[in-house]
Structure 1
Amino acid sequence: MLFKQTISTLPYNQWLTNDTENKRLLRFCAIVMIISFAWIKYVYPYPNFMPPDSFSYIKAAADNEFINMWPIGYSKFLRLISVFTHSDITLVTLQYFLLIASVLYFLFTVRYLLSPGKWLFRIVFTISIANPLLPHIANFVSSDCLFASLSLTWFTQLLWILYKQKLLIIHAVIITLALMTRFSALYYPLVSLLIIFIIPMSTKTRRLGMFAIIILLLGFISRTQYEYKVKTGTAQFSAFGGWQLAANALYGYAYSQRDEEKDVPYEFRLLHSLVNDHMDSIRHAKNRPDSEPGIYYLWDFKSPLVIYLHRKIPPNSKIPYFYDWSTVAPLYGKYGRWLTMQHPVAYLKHYAWPNLLRYYSPPPYFMGVYNMGNNSVDPITTTWFQWKNNRLSNRYNDAQIHIMNVFPVLLAIINPAYIVCILFFFAFGGIRHCNNTAKRIIACVLLVWLSNTLFSVISAPIELRYQIFPIVTTLPFFVLFLAWLIQSLIIESKPYKKHGSAIPKPTV
């Protein structure tokens, strides 16, 4: 029965290669991959670009930078591929292959450790592999696909660490790569260190695992801070993080009672004066640009954060904009934290709560429009991919990717249903009938799911492309919990035998 089955006695590698059902599933996966990728490249011959993100990644790769507006990991990935080829088809193909490989690693680990029924797992497998989000996200020149692949690998390794304490050094490397690729991975080392600390293992193994994670992360963080200090004059880990903290806080303050400049710490007064002037100017506007969490306060030229930057540091064509942009980031980070603490209720009501709703029904945004409707790219892109011109095209001359509009509605149903299934699972005592490995896996799934929800909600405005990792991990466990609930109800509804037989308890 589900969550109670005995794990195969065969080693994982031997089980994976010798099991007949696994071979069928891999053949099916190969067919789906070929069809999906061929369809994507037929309809959208060029990769999908997100200005300015994609062009910034490419420029950082071309200049071999170590810091950038966005985490540097994806630019280093582009740089590595360029050693062998500049082909955009190769890039997208490799991204899709890495994503599918990480999904397969996750799915076969679930099958090996939890042993769901054959047809139940076939359903899980089909839903996961045929998910149209996968080829679409792989077609982007952005960190989303690579980050999803690394995140799935990280999560799957956690499951193996819970079962048998292996892969600790590789696990530390994956965490570091994930953090280099996107700062959404900031909670990954905390989850990993907690699990390594609490599960039974030898002291030597525990220290090795924790030491490897800490040392690698400290090395990357220190090098990043050093680069910022040398190039911008300020030692920091993420300039974007400072801007994001301030922008998030402004969504709450926009609907709060005004704080006078004289009541604000001295270092924030000039910035806060611009913020107050801006809030006064839009307070009675019919169509407020900050009506929902988004990118307005980060990038719009009317944003008080952008205005303050240009007043504090006049534009200089000889100095890269990124360096000036980074200089004010530490101040913005401190201001954002201060403003949030001053207006916590407004922050929760006007930023965190709307963002939480978007977490369970993420809007498509960039994923919903091919190249944002643009028919050309920046010259840096043409040079990088060695194209003859900068023109873009698609097969049907329709920039809208209509299938993406299905996912906000679908996820608005699946995510609440997933929560309900989890609650019923615990309410009906399902956890008591699980084997030890299943108990650990379920605890890990819930820990990662809750951590991702909390961090996503407070870190940045949510959209569909940011949620590939939680979607891929939620769907299989939603099906498993739902199957357990259905089987439990079937067992309860069956008339039990007389002659003193006990009422059957759900053990699926």
Structure 2
Amino acid sequence: MRMQFLRYVYLAMFTMLLQFIAFKYFYPFPNFMQDSYNYLRSATENIDANMWPVGYAKLIRFVGFFTHTDTVLVFVQYFFYHLCALYFFLTLLDLNTSNPWTRRIIFCCLFLNPAILYLSNYITSDVYFIGLSLVWISQLFRLVYEPSRWLLAAHLLVLVLAYTIRYHALIYPVISITVIVFCRFSVRLKIASGLLMISMIGGFMLYTADANLRVMGVRQFSAFSGWQMASNAVYAYAHMPERPALEVPEQFTVIHRKVTHYLDSLQQVPMSQRPDGWPMMAFYLWDPGSPLQPVPGAVNIADNAAHLQQMAVVAPLYNDYGKYLISQYPLQYFRYYLLPNFIQYAYPPAENLAVYNDGRDTVWPVAQAWFHYPSNKVNTRSGKQELQIFDYYPAAMVVIILFFISGWIAYYSAGGPSFADTRFRSALRIGTFYWIIHYGFSVLASPVVLRYQLLNMALGSVFGVLLWQVARDRIRSVRMAERLQL
């Protein structure tokens, strides 16, 4: 097993370097989106609070301690993902990968996925979060069949790190505690680990709330969540065929007047031309033309500290306003936001992955300053036609979901649970539990896009392949037993 894994390590490192060198020839500059400039400003000013968690900004700053070369940062991101994916791959080898073709397919899913390469070239937290998530779920698999205190301690550390990078990690403690309850630890250790997990995350939340008070003037864990709540509610409200006059509480009068005035201006605009049309995006959250913006028409919102501070100030009010709209129109909220997002989870739009640098050939000043660019111009040696591959990824997500579900059906129909290794059965339960929780949280939280789904695409592909392998092996063993009886 050791020699087998080492061969895959060498192959993964070789393919990583080959892909990286070829890619950076065609894309000498990183890829930027609005989020990128926010992270870079957080790294430049070394602030402890912003609209997003600042963990990724701290990683940028750590790399910047050694060099501000953009290629090094991109390589660190890509290399970090490969290390995490190798740990995940080694964990899978312990589960059930006796078939060489199964190993090869899983290897290709993890290490030859073009989306990971392109995402690594983005100045954004996504690829770091995917890597940490692969380690996190691998540790959960291992805690079930080889529990140890050292592994448990490492798991708590990874959990907190993930929590500092993306708010999607909010569901991770729920899954971790559920799994640890069924691990072979003493009751005392289970309780202690749960309390430690809660205290570590609670401490981080309190520290972040205090940092928000210092930086933005409002004590809250996440200003982003209040804005997201309002954005989701207004999206549903905007798509209602009829909007009866609504008498809102006094504190919502100003914002509701701005919202209704804006929505009235869209009445004669065809749905295909509306800025808040399908697929769902974060228009009401980030677009300068959104009626929720405190300064209409403001530019460079994500890199504008004064504007973000204004957004943070009204975040608690927007959180209450969003909840109020939902309470008034719960069925419409389900029909015009939750249900479309439920579908979009299975068919996520490519969003930023399908375009380079938001379609521009320049970057904002904070990027030019951090990476010491001689000018604000960026370019590629590629015609960017290859980005069209991401137009097929939404359909690939549908195929993967169906492949995973059909694998489950084949697995149970063939009697897989009585045949499969105990470790595989436990990992399958954890992976499925994660997917169910993630599905519900993602649909409720924000409009789903492709880069949020790359981890699920990998998990669905991997477990789909493993499920079909177990089902096939089970059928073969039954047939072999029948032949021997004859």
**TM-score for the superposition, normalised by structure 2:** 0.91
Report deviation, 1:319. Answer: 7.4
- After superposition, the Cα gap between the structure-2 partners of 1:113 and 1:414, relative to the gap in structure 1 and judged at 3 Å, is closer
Asked whether the equivalents of residues 187 and 451 of structure 1 are also in contact (C-alpha less than 8 Å), the reply is yes
The equivalent residue for 2:63 is 81
1:469 to 455, 474, 478: 455
The equivalent residue for 1:5 is none
Aligned residue type for 2:8: L
The equivalent residue for 1:35 is 18
Report deviation, 1:278. Answer: 2.4
Aligned residue type for 2:287: D
C-alpha deviations, 1:207-255, integer Å up to 9, x for none?
Answer: 3321221121111100111122233332211111111111111122123
1:232 to 216, 227, 230: 216
Aligned residue type for 1:222: L
- How far, CA to CA, are the matches of 2:481 and 2:178 in structure 1? 45
The equivalent residue for 1:172 is 156
Asked whether the equivalents of residues 364 and 464 of structure 1 are also in contact (C-alpha less than 8 Å), the reply is yes
The equivalent residue for 1:453 is 439
The equivalent residue for 1:275 is 259
Alignment of 1:430-445 (within 5 A): 430-445=416-431
Asked whether the equivalents of residues 410 and 468 of structure 2 are also in contact (C-alpha less than 8 Å), the reply is no
- After superposition, the Cα gap between the structure-2 partners of 1:283 and 1:485, relative to the gap in structure 1 and judged at 3 Å, is farther
- How far, CA to CA, are the matches of 1:269 and 1:490 in structure 2? 68
C-alpha deviations, 1:151-175, integer Å up to 9, x for none?
Answer: 1111111111112223222212211
Asked whether the equivalents of residues 96 and 421 of structure 2 are also in contact (C-alpha less than 8 Å), the reply is no
Aligned residue type for 1:40: F
C-alpha deviations, 1:133-152, integer Å up to 9, x for none?
Answer: 22111111111111111111
Asked whether the equivalents of residues 242 and 333 of structure 1 are also in contact (C-alpha less than 8 Å), the reply is yes
Q: Unaligned 5+ residue runs, structure 1?
A: 1-14, 502-508
Asked whether the equivalents of residues 71 and 181 of structure 1 are also in contact (C-alpha less than 8 Å), the reply is yes
Question: Is 2:286 the partner of 1:299?
Answer: yes
Alignment of 1:204-353 (within 5 A): 204-256=188-240, 257-262=242-247, 264-286=248-270, 287-292=273-278, 293-306=280-293, 309-310=294-295, 320-353=306-339
Q: Unaligned 5+ residue runs, structure 2?
A: 299-303
- After superposition, the Cα gap between the structure-2 partners of 1:399 and 1:141, relative to the gap in structure 1 and judged at 3 Å, is farther
What's the Cα RMSD here? 2.3
The equivalent residue for 1:112 is 94
Aligned residue type for 1:278: Y
C-alpha deviations, 1:69-125, integer Å up to 9, x for none?
Answer: 222111111111111111111101110011011111111101113343233222222
- After superposition, the Cα gap between the structure-2 partners of 1:417 and 1:472, relative to the gap in structure 1 and judged at 3 Å, is closer
Q: Give secondary structure in 1 for the equivalent of 2:392.
A: helix
- How far, CA to CA, are the matches of 1:468 and 1:176 in structure 2? 21
* Count of residue pairs the alignment pairs up: 474
Aligned residue type for 2:89: L
**TM-score for the superposition, normalised by structure 1:** 0.88
Asked whether the equivalents of residues 420 and 470 of structure 2 are also in contact (C-alpha less than 8 Å), the reply is no
Report deviation, 1:494. Answer: 7.7
- How far, CA to CA, are the matches of 1:161 and 1:388 in structure 2? 50
Q: Give secondary structure in 2 for the equivalent of 1:496.
A: helix
1:374 to 354, 360, 369: 360
Asked whether the equivalents of residues 197 and 206 of structure 1 are also in contact (C-alpha less than 8 Å), the reply is yes
The equivalent residue for 2:132 is 150
C-alpha deviations, 1:318-361, integer Å up to 9, x for none?
Answer: 97221111001111112212222322222222222222222222
- How far, CA to CA, are the matches of 1:406 and 1:300 in structure 2? 26
Aligned residue type for 2:367: T
- How far, CA to CA, are the matches of 1:23 and 1:310 in structure 2? 56
The equivalent residue for 1:69 is 51
- How far, CA to CA, are the matches of 2:306 and 2:110 in structure 1? 43
Report deviation, 1:451. Answer: 1.2
Question: Is 2:80 the partner of 1:98?
Answer: yes
- How far, CA to CA, are the matches of 2:281 and 2:460 in structure 1? 25
Report deviation, 1:489. Answer: 5.3
Question: Is 2:14 the partner of 1:23?
Answer: no
Asked whether the equivalents of residues 243 and 298 of structure 1 are also in contact (C-alpha less than 8 Å), the reply is yes
- After superposition, the Cα gap between the structure-2 partners of 1:323 and 1:108, relative to the gap in structure 1 and judged at 3 Å, is same
